Structure 1
Amino acid sequence: MNQPMPVNQQSGQPLLDIQDVIVEYPARGFRAKPFRALQGVSLDVQRGECVGLVGESGSGKTTLGRAVLGLAPVTAGKVLFRGQDIAHANRATRRELAADIQVVFQDPYTSLNPSLTIEQILAEPLTVRKTHRADAQKRIRDLFEMVRLPADSGSRLPREFSGGQRQRIAIARALALKPALVVCDEPVSALDLSTQARVLGLFKDIQEQTQVAYLFVSHDLEVVRHISHRVAVMYRGEIVEFGDGDQVTARPQHPYTQKLFYAAPIADPDAQAQRREERHRLLAAQAP
């Protein structure tokens, strides 16, 4: 897969600016300390840029995405969207933000209402915004073309599509209101490798056409390498490395990122064996 097209880094205000965000969850038990999922995380996303957020399960990457969406409580810090702090936005503000901030979840089937046709699913956000019926129909046709689904898909139900096609439907729904930012929460991890490549290519093509920005959450360093302009690596609720996508994914500096790099499988058996040895060396060096 080709590398993502370069994005014009603007000298002005970032689209999304996360500043020293802390997320804590109450702990069970008398006088138990709250669990701190994020420990002062900061990163930014420019307009038209894809920032990859990578880490193992439990690293806090999904929590950060949920904090941007208002689905996780922000204990301290700021989440600035176009300069406005939305960390503690009320429901009315969140409804207004839905036109500008959307999400694509990991499982495309559970995120789609199984009893609605695809046309009804895509029309729902447009109806909420009181879009004229004729304009909504045109937008749905444009979305089918954008995500490369047959024009007659509207009358069918989600169960009639494959996993990759269902994820395309979920992407189309996220794009229905022409958002400025899409939070992608492990959007290809439930797909096979060949389907992953096609969906990643679709994400890149859509970004080139629309200049939408992505916060792309994944556990796979190889996946974010192909789509991200910059990559942030999370470990135990902190960002341990953040920089140019090529640098972070091909020449990582932090030991944790290096472990992720060496854990990624490659086709060459000799090179894979060498990677395995390097990973064991790193693990042994960091053992208590």
Structure 2
Amino acid sequence: MTDTTDTTDTTDTTAEDLLSVRDLRVSFPGKGWRAPRTEVLKGIDLGIRPGETVGLVGESGSGKTTIGRAILGLVPVASGTITFDGERVDTASAARRRALSRDIQVIFQDPYTSLNPARTIGDTLSEPLLAQGVDSREARGRVAGLLERVRLPGDAAVRLPREFSGGQRQRVAIARALALRPRLVVCDEPVSALDLTTQATVLELLLDIQEETGVAYLFVSHDLSVVRFMSHRVCVIHRGEIVESGDADTLTRTPEHPYTRTLLLSAPIADVTGQRRRREQRAALAQAG
């Protein structure tokens, strides 16, 4: 698959964007001595407006998580630009990056490993506030408000992560991401480690928080059905390139790129006959590709 499709030209960035990614390229060292570097992102263009959710979907190894990590400054950028609210962040110093954490936060995939098991929930949520100079009295008040916002009991602050279920731990992770009242949150597969019922609860919570606060999300997932539920716009990434992008409803109902159609056909459905028909359609697409 070498062709790319842009249903509404939404990967292009505009002056209205809160986050603007232009011609982003990231490469990693090859395996072995003198092995050439491997380019994992090949000229990514992406824009996110204030209060908007842009879904980034692709299979494992497509480069979707690397985009989020580049925005967060966790991987080096080979070339291109990342701009947040008009400021270049790909070249920002470590000190400036720490300051930017007030506006750009992340929710990681695994609620079991993203929390320190030796710290109480209150300590975990207070830490970013204290680091930004909030006094301890105000921090305690804001922690109580955060726990209420993510629908956890007030005594959660004095408990340890092991006392909570996976869904509750992910709500703690969401509260931690919201502690500094960010304007953008990178959601890196935030529900993939949860059962379906808990997934729905967490997704609804993220939507409610967005409606209340106006926060923008970059929602990274391998599941196109989840991305469709969450997103205003969707970008499909394959082998380090965005192959199709557009309005979430339009793209998921009438995808134009073969890879996007394959992703849609890969989603399980509770219908044996329908699932068999999807397998046949996937096989036909594979032969055509």
TM-score range, shorter chain: over 0.9
Q: Secondary structure at the match of 2:81?
A: strand
Measured after TM superposition, the shift of residue 88 of structure 1 is 2.0
Q: How does 1:204-223 map to 2 (within 5 A)?
A: 204-223=207-226
> In the aligned structure 2, how far is the partner of 1:155 from the partner of 1:134?
16
- Asked if residue 199 in structure 1 is aligned to residue 202 in structure 2, the reply is yes
Q: 2:251 aligns with which of 241, 248, 251?
A: 248
> 2-side partners of 1:29 and 1:191: how far apart?
37
Match of 2:40 in 1: 37
Report the more deviating stretch, 268-277 or 173-182: 268-277
**What's the counterpart of residue 79 of structure 1?**
82
Partners of 1:175 and 1:40 in 2: how far apart? 30
CA distance in 2, matches of 1:225, 1:210: 21
Task: Specify which of 274, 278, 283 is matched with residue 271 of structure 1.
Answer: 274
**2:178 corresponds to 1:183:** no
Given that 1:51 and 1:216 are in contact with CA atoms closer than 8 Å, whether structure 2 keeps it comes out as yes
In structure 2, the residue matched to 1:59 is 62
The residue that corresponds to 2:286 in the other structure is 283
Identical amino acids, percent of aligned pairs: 59
Residue from 21, 25, 29 that aligns with 1:22? 25
Give the TM-score taking structure 1 as reference length. Answer: 0.93
CA distance in 1, matches of 2:106, 2:195: 21
In structure 1, the partner of 2:6 is none
| Correspondence for 2:260 | 257
Distance in 1, Cα, partners of 2:103 & 2:174? 14
Amino acid at match of 2:196: L
Q: Give the whole-Å Cα distance in 2 for the aligned partners of 1:83 and 1:103.
A: 20
| Shift of residue 208, structure 1, vs aligned partner | 0.4
Letter in 1 for 2:273: D
Structure 1, unpaired ranges of 5+: 1-9
Q: 1:237 aligns with which of 240, 245, 248?
A: 240
Amino acid at match of 1:91: A
The CA distance in 2 between the partners of 1:30 and 1:112, in whole Å, is 37
**Could you tell which deviates more after superposition, 181-190 or 20-29?**
20-29
Work out the CA distance in 2 between the residues paired with 1:50 and 1:206: 12
Deviates more, 1:208-217 or 1:244-253: 244-253
**Residue 130 (1) aligns with residue 133 (2):** yes
Rounded to whole Å, the distance in 2 between the matches of 1:27 and 1:270 is 44
User: Is 2:14–2:47's contact at 8 Å kept on the other side of the alignment?
Assistant: no
| Aligned positions, number | 277
Task: Give the structure-2-normalised TM-score.
Answer: 0.93
RMSD: 1.3
Q: Deviations over 1:182-205 (max 9, x none)?
A: 001111000011111111111100
